[in-house]
Structure 1
Amino acid sequence: MEKGTGFRGREWIIQIAVALAYALAYCAIRPFSDAHWSLTSGLRFACLLLIPYRYWAALAIGEVVPLAYSVFGNVGLFGVVTASIWSIPPMAIAMPVVWFCRSRLALFPAQRVVDMKALLICALVTSLLWATVTYAGYLTATDPTMHVTLIMFAGVFVGSYVAILTLATWPLFIKVARNGRSVRDMLIEATNSSLASDTVLCALPALVAIAFLSAQLDANSAVVLQMSLFIPVAWLTLKYGWRGAAASGPLAVACVCALTLSVPDPVVIQAQFFVAFAVTFLFAMGARITSQLHAQQQQRLSVDKALSVAQQAFHQGELRMRQASAQLDLVGGAVSLTNGRILRNVQRFLSPDERAILVRDATQTKDRIFGLAESFHPIAWRERGLPAALKETIGRVLDEAGIAYRFEMGGRGLSKLAPSVHQAIYRAACEAIAQVCTQLTCSQVTLLLRGGELHGRRWAALRVVGINDEMDVGRLARRIALSGNIAAKLGVNPNQGPSLTTQAELFDGIVHSARSAASSSVSVLLYDAQHLWGIERVQPRQAQMWVR
């Protein structure tokens, strides 16, 4: 019982605090609010968007007292009916609309996502409702000097709409950007961001200069110059999307509204409509740019994730080949021992020629098994690392084919590359050597391997150069007989298509080949495998304008 009573008491305290805080904020902002820029409309709209439903009643109560005090003080001027209409809290009038947009139109599809289309619809409908109630109060007013026209309705509507899009923007911007961080961390990040520097150093001085010049000119020239206030906002919107419009849009609107007289004049209403159109267009364009950028980012993440999965599959395949190579080595040793025992047991029953044939077949079987194991995964690689495989294994294969071989390795960071990149380097080297050795006049092969780091990513580049010697006819016949076995001994299938290019693309690399009468070369660039950390994914449909 005590626990429940304490909870209810604390809840009542929170409700009273919310009502008082809103009433104080309303009273503080009310003197600066007028018909053509209704700051109180922006305040109540922002509160309805960001404050939970359970505190809405406290918000309405917090608005009733100061509103009734200001309205009924003018009962003698407008009459009781008008005072009664205007004393209805606009907060209560907008609650059904905001609730529908938040719950049914999914104004906040996720915790840090805002649907700009739903926000604009909510602001438009809410402004229409508030303008309708205000206009109804004007129609029932008893003041004989008041001339009620539709221009007054348009002015009240546009003033509320512009104030909503400007005053409610920064709270939404903070809600989207917070991401569970403290206020101190947000301020530090905002101070160091390029958006803040561009807004403070570029957009704000330009807006102040344009506003100052506009105040010095006549009315017609001032209207034209005021339209240019949205050029800096458009620049930031194109550069940063919705965040650029949210950061600089309220500043531009404040400059325009500060220079505009609050009178029911058609020229003033046209200026207000231009402000409303400009703000709506910039927010919609910024939301579309942000949505497209997010979709591109999600597509890049999907591609990177697919590449990561493919790299892991490539790595697992290499591990299986390494295990198969080790098992083949064991099988080759067992077969060699078995053939030796069989030969010792039956050699007294065989003639010398039969014994020689049996020894030759046993040796060839052992060599084929060990050769197959080497093509899968060289033993030098398993025991002494990648440089040994590139130097010894490839060198032995080329030496058997009568081709001179030279290997050079330099740079830095090669040992820190991921195992999958080491595997890709060896396979790419084998593929490249098999390509340059397709010319029968190839007499010398050079393999150059370099490593480095660029923009935080390690890379490896290998270059295979084959020198052709058409004058060396003496060894040409031997190379013709043995060059066909180079690809098989290196574990390369010459009929599998452009596997080298595919393998390089798997590691975000490129392949360049060149061939001439004197030489042929293949260059391959590979990047280290990157581990991609996922972010909160909200997949928007193409027609939606979701901002983050």
Structure 2
Amino acid sequence: MLDAPWANLWFRRIGIAASYGLLIALARQVTISHFVLVAGIHLVVLLLVRYRDWPALIVGETLALLPTSIACVGMYGLPWAVLYATPGLVFMAPFVYVLRERWPVLASRGSLNMGALLGAALVLSFVMTAINIGTMFIMTLPADYHLQVDKLATKWVLGNYLGILAITPTTLFAYQLLSGARWRQLGTRLIDNRAVLDSIFLVVPALLLLVWIGLEAPRVRQIAQVAMFLPIVWLAMRHGWQGAAIGGTASSFAVMALMPATNDQQTMQAEAIVAFAISSMMLLGARIGALHQHAEQERMDVRMALALAQRNVHIGEMQLRTTSLALEQIRETVQASFSMMMGRLRHLQPTIEDRSYHRQALVAQDQLFRLADSLYPVSWRERGLPAALREGAIPRALDETGVGYWCDLRGPLSRLSQTLHLAIYRLVVEVVADACAKRNLSEVIVRVRCGEKLGRRWVLISIIFRDTAETSSQVRWDELLPRVMRSTSGMGWAGIRDRAMTFEGDAREHQIANGRRVSMLMLDPITISGI
């Protein structure tokens, strides 16, 4: 790779000078006083090319200007020939150097320092206009030619400014879009960009239609030229400054395509309107882009906060699981210790009555088991969420105390993450406990539905509580409430909604015949790197 010709410093600089000189020679063929495309090319190369390659650019443009300068030296004089052969880069370079060092135009990927760019365009337009007027003063003019400085200055300021707006923003957009892409990726990036697609398939046909109307009906030509600013506004509203840049370039060339004569006054008026539209829409588009970027950052911050909350929920569940396993070990230790103690007591006193001790030990073991099961259900550890919802601590407590319980699970439940599984179980437990606290239910129906939409997996939980007076009065509430409350956070409806909103969902309550229904929607967490 190092042996390639382009790796040679002098070969690269000669290539830059030759290619840039050819570009300037071609651009000057279509440059007129009120549409100076060369000014836009000058600003673009000074913004994008490295400082060490600036001399090569100056040499290349000088070589492109020398033939005309030498051919006309006898007609306009030697001072004019020297100044004409001096590239515009030489006069613009100091201002662009200060701009790049103090107010970088390429602020970040996808955005521009639009104030600095437009300010530089205006300043450079006046600078180049002053150089052009100075050239007119030192050149040898015919005796009958009257120099009208005000008209020339107006045309040159407009021409330089519109030339910069027609070339520079679009080129910078293309540079940001294609920067770092390989040759095979260039087409993909262009096709994937909506601003480019809208410009090619919507704006360009509309401008071609206006050009056709202006050519076929000369009476409405000026109206067609003035209407060229509309695509700029539309693209800016849809795609920010990128759309305004592409629309400005297309509209500028469309206006020039309808120009009947080189110094047509109506064309210059249309150019002034297009230049104003490009400037204002690029400022507005940059502001829209900044607001969009700020909104995207806020959305990302919200997602990061949700991911962090979901991770903390998962960590809390893992801590409960560890605690539950520890309680299980303690229960087994209590059972082993009791058996060892009773064995020694029988050895010392064979006639001892151990049934009361045995009953107390069983009660203690059962309490430890229920506590461990409420923290992290044993059925969950063994058979997962379906078993926990159908046979866990809460279903058993409801069935054993006189409350009917039924659970229906449908959909690809296994595709949901473990974190969402835990959230589903905790929400069901929280909602059931909150309903039991009101002592007005006799039947609980749990329905869980899950699926996938737009790449996000979701789950909908619907819990129906029916109240039949003669049945609810037979429920053993004094036994049920301590058992269900042991598995909840105790925060009630506020805690239920907070847990659902942690997973980008919500919880709602509706009154139905003979009871009420609680519905909860949640989304599967999105994995974010770094969280």
Question: Paired residue for 1:99?
Answer: 97
Please state how far the C-alpha of 1:496 moved relative to its aligned partner.
5.9
How many Å separate the matches in 1 of 2:511 and 2:480?
Answer: 18
Question: Paired residue for 1:202?
Answer: 202
Secondary structure at 1:471 match in 2: helix
Deviates more, 1:99-108 or 1:381-390: 99-108
Pairing 1:65–2:63 present: yes
Picking from 514, 520, 524, the partner of 1:518 is: 514
Question: Paired residue for 1:45?
Answer: 43
Q: 1:232 to 1:473 in 2, by over 3 A?
A: closer
How many Å separate the matches in 2 of 1:258 and 1:474?
Answer: 89
Q: 1:8 to 1:242 in 2, by over 3 A?
A: closer
Pairing 1:20–2:14 present: no
How many Å separate the matches in 2 of 1:17 and 1:189?
Answer: 27
Picking from 464, 482, 487, the partner of 2:484 is: 487
Please state how far the C-alpha of 1:276 moved relative to its aligned partner.
1.5
Question: Paired residue for 2:503?
Answer: 507
Question: Paired residue for 2:118?
Answer: 120
Question: Paired residue for 1:152?
Answer: 152
Letter in 2 for 1:227: V
Question: Paired residue for 2:373?
Answer: 374
How many Å separate the matches in 2 of 1:275 and 1:507?
Answer: 49
Gaps of 5+ in 2: none
How many Å separate the matches in 1 of 2:4 and 2:463?
Answer: 79
Q: 1:299 to 1:209 in 2, by over 3 A?
A: same
Give the RMSD, CA atoms, in angstroms. 2.7
Please state how far the C-alpha of 1:380 moved relative to its aligned partner.
0.6
Please state how far the C-alpha of 1:111 moved relative to its aligned partner.
5.7
Secondary structure at 2:469 match in 1: coil
Aligned residues of 1:329 and 1:373 also touching (Cα < 8 A)? yes
How many Å separate the matches in 2 of 1:377 and 1:499?
Answer: 19
Please state how far the C-alpha of 1:137 moved relative to its aligned partner.
1.7
How many Å separate the matches in 2 of 1:17 and 1:273?
Answer: 37
Structural mapping, 1:116-195, within 5 Å: 116-143=114-141, 144=143, 145-195=145-195
How many Å separate the matches in 2 of 1:56 and 1:463?
Answer: 70
Pairing 1:34–2:26 present: no
Secondary structure at 2:402 match in 1: coil
Letter in 1 for 2:90: A
Please state how far the C-alpha of 1:378 moved relative to its aligned partner.
0.5
Pairing 1:231–2:230 present: yes
Secondary structure at 2:332 match in 1: helix
Question: Paired residue for 2:410?
Answer: 410
How many Å separate the matches in 1 of 2:440 and 2:136?
Answer: 99
Structural mapping, 1:333-372, within 5 Å: 333-346=332-345, 355-372=354-371
How many Å separate the matches in 1 of 2:169 and 2:343?
Answer: 92
Q: 1:361 to 1:495 in 2, by over 3 A?
A: farther
Please state how far the C-alpha of 1:202 moved relative to its aligned partner.
1.6
Question: Paired residue for 1:545?
Answer: none
Picking from 527, 533, 538, the partner of 2:523 is: 527
Deviates more, 1:423-432 or 1:496-505: 496-505
Secondary structure at 2:489 match in 1: coil
Deviates more, 1:97-106 or 1:447-456: 97-106
Question: Paired residue for 1:539?
Answer: none
Aligned residues of 1:86 and 1:133 also touching (Cα < 8 A)? no
How many Å separate the matches in 2 of 1:261 and 1:155?
Answer: 17
Please state how far the C-alpha of 1:79 moved relative to its aligned partner.
3.6
List per-residue Cα deviations over 1:223-281 (Å, max 9, x = no partner).
33322112122112211222222332211111112323666676554433222211111
The higher relative CO (CA closer than 8 Å, separation ≥ 6) is in 1
Deviates more, 1:73-82 or 1:221-230: 73-82
How many Å separate the matches in 2 of 1:306 and 1:350?
Answer: 65
Q: 1:268 to 1:516 in 2, by over 3 A?
A: closer
Secondary structure at 1:463 match in 2: strand
Aligned residues of 1:462 and 1:523 also touching (Cα < 8 A)? yes
Letter in 1 for 2:478: A
List per-residue Cα deviations over 1:339-374 (Å, max 9, x = no partner).
23334444786998x855433432222122111111
Letter in 2 for 1:31: Q
How many Å separate the matches in 2 of 1:482 and 1:505?
Answer: 32
Aligned residues of 1:438 and 1:483 also touching (Cα < 8 A)? no
Question: Paired residue for 1:396?
Answer: 396
How many Å separate the matches in 2 of 1:450 and 1:214?
Answer: 61
Please state how far the C-alpha of 1:421 moved relative to its aligned partner.
0.8
Q: 1:23 to 1:485 in 2, by over 3 A?
A: same
Letter in 1 for 2:320: M
Please state how far the C-alpha of 1:64 moved relative to its aligned partner.
1.3
Aligned residues of 1:487 and 1:493 also touching (Cα < 8 A)? no
Please state how far the C-alpha of 1:20 moved relative to its aligned partner.
1.0
State TM-score, norm by structure 2.
0.91
How many Å separate the matches in 1 of 2:269 and 2:78?
Answer: 33
State TM-score, norm by structure 1.
0.89
How many Å separate the matches in 1 of 2:7 and 2:513?
Answer: 93
